[in-house]
Chains A and B, each alone.
Chain A
Amino acid sequence: MVALHVVTYVLFSIFAVAFLWKGYQQSKMPIHLRWELYPLAGEKSRPWGGSYLEAPDWYKKPRKHHSFAGEMAFLGKEVFFFREYFRRNRSLWYIVYPFHIGIILLVTFFFLVVIGALTTIGGVEVSAASSNAWGLLLYYVTLIVGIPALILGTISCLALLIRKFVDPTMSPYTRRVEYFNIVFVLAMFLTGLLAWAVADRGFDIAREYMKSLLTFGSIEGLPSLSAAHAVLLVLLLAYLPFTNMMHFFAKFFTYHKVRWDDCPNLRGSALERELKPLLEQQINWAAPHMQSLRRWVDVVTEETGASPAPRVRKGGE
């Protein structure tokens, strides 16, 4: 079982490092040109989808910050209800909603197992027979969360795989690696479900295994299904940051950094200063009209165009 522990530590570390690296990469992206898309969830005072540009002298007024509550409400509806899918792609919503709820429950289940393991380390029994109210509560909450997570995840993941395969609007766009990803997730859910059904009805083994991980201890007699599930879970975690399954992470950036980024570049602002080095960067595009540009900022000093023709007006100016 030492090997399993080592594999788990290593793969979890890969996940953590890769996840942070992805976040770091995004944070280091250069500022881009404005490309916002209305409505902005944070513009609560303009529910029709309007912007500050609806005011004639918007640049003279102090800029109102977006409503954080508005943005969170939007994202909350997205995360917990998949509102956009519900509104615009109902048949797929019936699959992806339970699938993602399964994942959210699985993540919650993971933390419950961690808390359960810590609780047992603290000497409190977590079981149906526990005399401690907290231990009892934790036991049942873990069951209530864990079982639906595994059932929902397995069934909807299978449904997603079938849908991707048979739907003529989706199958031509699904690369082999994306089928593999779904099968991978399905295997993780399925082994978890089987491990629960066959060997671990109270998730006691899961807690014991987590306890051994947290205490760098050992565990004896781990059922092979549980071990398979544990390996697949950490393998999936380590693999996740390198796939488009990170779209939950990307969503933060597509919304906050692109769709909702309406920050104006006012004269003398910090943003203007931040942009200056980007404009002075060297560029080297090859088309004929790009040959004269060695830096973006060269467009300022370029001279093009013929002299204006003499102006003649009737009646003088």
Chain B
Amino acid sequence: MARMWAIIERELRRFRRSPTLIIVSLVFPIVQLVVLGYAFGGNVKNLKVGVVDQDHGLPAVRIRELAGAVAANARTFQTVPYADPGTALTDLRDGRINGVLTIPPDYSRRVLAGDDPRVALIEDNTDNFVTATLAAAMGDMVGALAQPVATTERVSTEPTLDVVEVYPYVPYIQYLLPGSVVMSIFMMVMIGGGIIFIDDKARGLHEGYLVTPISKFELIAGFNLSGTIKAVMAGIVLMTIGSLIAGIPDPFAPLRLFRLLVVIVVTAMALISMMFLIMVRVSDPLVPRAIFGVLNTLLYFPSGAVYPQQGFPQWMRAIAVVDPFTYAVHAFKCLLLKNTGFGAIGFDLLYLSVFSVIAMSLATRLFRRTL
């Protein structure tokens, strides 16, 4: 085992002298957390909606007033009055406005006659987020129009739904944080582990070790543990900085910190073992660089780090089932967003631990003691 510690000591001494490596491994997940968190986390506002009133009756005026109220308060959209639908549609196609609300000529008559009155929303549906926001805002507005002005009933006869939220409101940046912590661990595993391992191999550095009496297991365990230590450091730094940026409530509660540390260690071991299994027979320095992006996409996005897995197609769910990111992200979500105990993350820890043992055993088996 002394030889394994020599490998760890060597790796950590080198790591200490590579500040660039540390910075590069941390900058990407932090930038991603901040940019994605704020880009996707906010509500869509200030969309432009053209209003074409072909009716001019009192009910039509009421719609225009309601639209004006939305523009003044929620600011989801601003209204732009148009005299004719042709000009409005041309502006919609040219991207000057995001939608056209058309009040047809017989709208007031139909409202008064109770004859299925309708208004039309014509949308630029090339942007799903804008379309959904606009449709939702207009739907609410028209729904409000349909409500009676006053009710005489003291007790409602219609069933209503009261929504109770278990946890405080979770902004999107907080939702993203668990994935970013896992990403920082992965970055360190790839850059500080995989890329350096293959570069050293290509430079012939491994020849130096292979002529010593070190065993296969000591060599792989040494690389694995040193990689784990580096990845744990990256995970802790990202978790601390990320918690402060995202505004996680009471982020430094000792018990929670301890649980988070356990998850970081187990995640780092799983990812470094996976990386060694992938790289154990690789000798071309281009390979880890080439698969870096693919692996990142393949592991990060199906994990549920940025979007719920329930929305994935079947094949992507299959990836998510074996993806170690899935279990790490779930565990971090439980701890960071819900502050749960080990009971909620027991299966995650078990999966990641078993994954590590299998990957490391296979990597040791595949590792060649000779050139």
Question: Are A and B genuine complex partners?
Answer: no
Chain B positions within 8 Å of A, measured between CB atoms, are: none
Interface residues of A (CB under 8 A from B): none
